[in-house]
């Protein structure tokens, strides 16, 4: 989860029931009557609150629309995060299950989504900012899932594979929205994962040149893909450390401690201001395997450079 997603989750978790009810009733009205044809008075009546009480929660219909997107996006994220907490799932099955949840939730709100598309609802600055953050969060999820499944060998292709995976999911969703076709989501997501296997196998076998790598993009475009060039380097080093640990002839408890240290290091590097001394201590735990030290030194170098900026 990105920091943005974590903060959004906290906001929704602490949202009171009255506000949730207003959002749910407003979404239903927008889906059936249309955004432009629905008044704030109608939302208040549908939600069983006074118009004054409604405006205490939402100052405008546009703010209400933005909050609907935030609310339902986080409902999806919470369900997907619950899958992440299921430790006995293989990464590939975890991704397939999460894609199923994502598609089923969007299909359950089909009328609302079609309303937004067909009515040409204007995008306010607030809604654009939210959708951009959601897009970045989703790209990060795709990238992390792909590297967890296929390992370090696909790192040069993560952006290309992310773009293709996103296109497959959205393409099938659009077709389902447009045609009312009845498909098994379980079967469809299994098919998507199988095609992903084919893509990875073909790329690795042919050793084709990647079409997109993060370092080629301008600074403004890099956040769309969930991390900057220096974060991509860190991710590569983390994978190298994990491989070294798994291949080393060490006690299983020591191995577990090393893996746990890497997870803590990953979380610390995601913070706005990573704590250098904590990182040094965690990296030092890995030095029971001498081969990890050169990689640890590179991680410290990257973090030090970023903190100085």
**Domain-located, residue 221:** no
**How many whole angstroms from its chain centre is CA 247?**
30
Q: Within a 10 A sphere around the Cβ of 112, how many other Cβ atoms?
A: 21
**Domain-located, residue 112:** yes
DSSP alpha helices (H): ranges in the chain? 3-13, 17-33, 40-47, 51-57, 61-84, 91-108, 110-118, 125-150, 158-179, 185-206, 229-247, 252-269, 276-285, 293-308
Instruction: Indicate whether 250 and 103 sit together in one domain.
Output: no
* Two tokens, residue 233: 């380097």
**Domain-located, residue 222:** no
Instruction: Indicate whether 207 and 234 sit together in one domain.
Output: no
**Domain-located, residue 185:** yes
For residue 193, what pLDDT is reported?
Answer: 97
Instruction: Indicate whether 233 and 282 sit together in one domain.
Output: yes
Indicate the residue among 215, 240, 263 that finishes a domain.
Answer: 215
Instruction: Indicate whether 272 and 166 sit together in one domain.
Output: no
CA distance to 24, 159, 169, per residue, from 147 (Å):
36, 11, 18
End-to-end Cα, the chain, rounded Å: 25
pTM, two decimal places: 0.67
Instruction: Indicate whether 103 and 208 sit together in one domain.
Output: yes
| DSSP letter, residue 287 | G
For residue 16, what pLDDT is reported?
Answer: 80
Instruction: Indicate whether 71 and 195 sit together in one domain.
Output: yes
**How many whole angstroms from its chain centre is CA 140?**
5
Instruction: Indicate whether 255 and 169 sit together in one domain.
Output: no
Structural domain range at position 301: 228-308
* Two tokens, residue 136: 């970045």
**Domain-located, residue 142:** yes
Instruction: Indicate whether 107 and 206 sit together in one domain.
Output: yes
Instruction: Indicate whether 134 and 27 sit together in one domain.
Output: yes
Residue with tokens 């410290």: 300
For residue 4, what pLDDT is reported?
Answer: 46
Instruction: Indicate whether 194 and 239 sit together in one domain.
Output: no
For residue 164, what pLDDT is reported?
Answer: 94
Give the pLDDT of the chain (309 residues) as one tens digit per residue. Answer: 555 455 555 555 556 888 999 999 999 999 999 898 999 999 999 999 999 999 988 989 989 999 999 999 989 989 998 998 887 889 999 999 999 999 999 999 988 888 877 877 777 888 888 888 888 888 888 888 998 899 878 888 888 999 999 999 999 999 998 888 888 999 999 999 999 999 999 999 998 888 876 555 544 455 555 455 566 677 778 888 888 888 888 888 988 899 899 888 888 877 767 788 888 888 888 888 988 888 888 888 887 776 665
User: Looking at residue 30, which CATH number applies to its domain?
Assistant: 1.10.357.10
Residue with tokens 């070294």: 244
Total domains present in the chain: 2
């Amino acid at each position: 989860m990105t920091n943005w997603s974590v903060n959004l989750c906290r906001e929704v978790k602490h949202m009171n029931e009255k506000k949730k009810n207003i959002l749910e009733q407003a979404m239903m009205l927008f889906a059936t009557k249309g955004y432009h044809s629905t008044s704030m008075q109608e939302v208040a009546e549908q939600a069983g609150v006074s118009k004054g009480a409604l405006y205490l929660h939402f100052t405008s219909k546009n703010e209400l629309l933005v909050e609907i997107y935030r609310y339902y996006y986080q409902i999806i994220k919470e369900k997907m995060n619950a899958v992440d907490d299921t430790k006995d799932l293989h990464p590939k099955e975890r991704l397939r299950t999460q894609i199923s949840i994502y598609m089923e939730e969007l299909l359950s709100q089909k009328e609302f989504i079609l309303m937004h598309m067909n009515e040409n609802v204007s995008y306010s600055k607030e809604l654009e900012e939210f959708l951009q953050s959601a897009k970045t969060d989703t790209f990060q999820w795709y990238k992390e899932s792909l590297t967890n499944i296929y390992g370090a060998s696909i790192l040069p292709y993560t952006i290309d594979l992310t773009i293709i995976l996103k296109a497959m999911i959205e393409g099938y969703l659009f077709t389902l929205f447009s045609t009312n076709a009845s498909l098994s989501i379980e079967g469809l997501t299994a098919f998507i994962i199988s095609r992903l296997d084919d893509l990875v196998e073909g790329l690795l076998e042919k050793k084709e040149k990647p079409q997109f790598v993060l370092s080629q993009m301008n600074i403004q475009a890099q956040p769309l893909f969930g991390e900057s060039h220096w974060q991509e380097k860190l991710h590569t080093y983390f994978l190298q450390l994990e491989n070294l640990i798994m291949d080393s002839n060490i006690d299983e408890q020591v191995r577990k401690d090393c893996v746990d240290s890497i997870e803590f290091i990953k979380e610390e590097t995601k913070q706005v201001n990573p704590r250098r001394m904590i990182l040094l201590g965690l990296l030092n735990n890995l030095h029971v395997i001498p081969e990890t030290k050169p990689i640890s030194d590179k991680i410290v170098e990257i973090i030090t450079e970023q903190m100085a900026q």
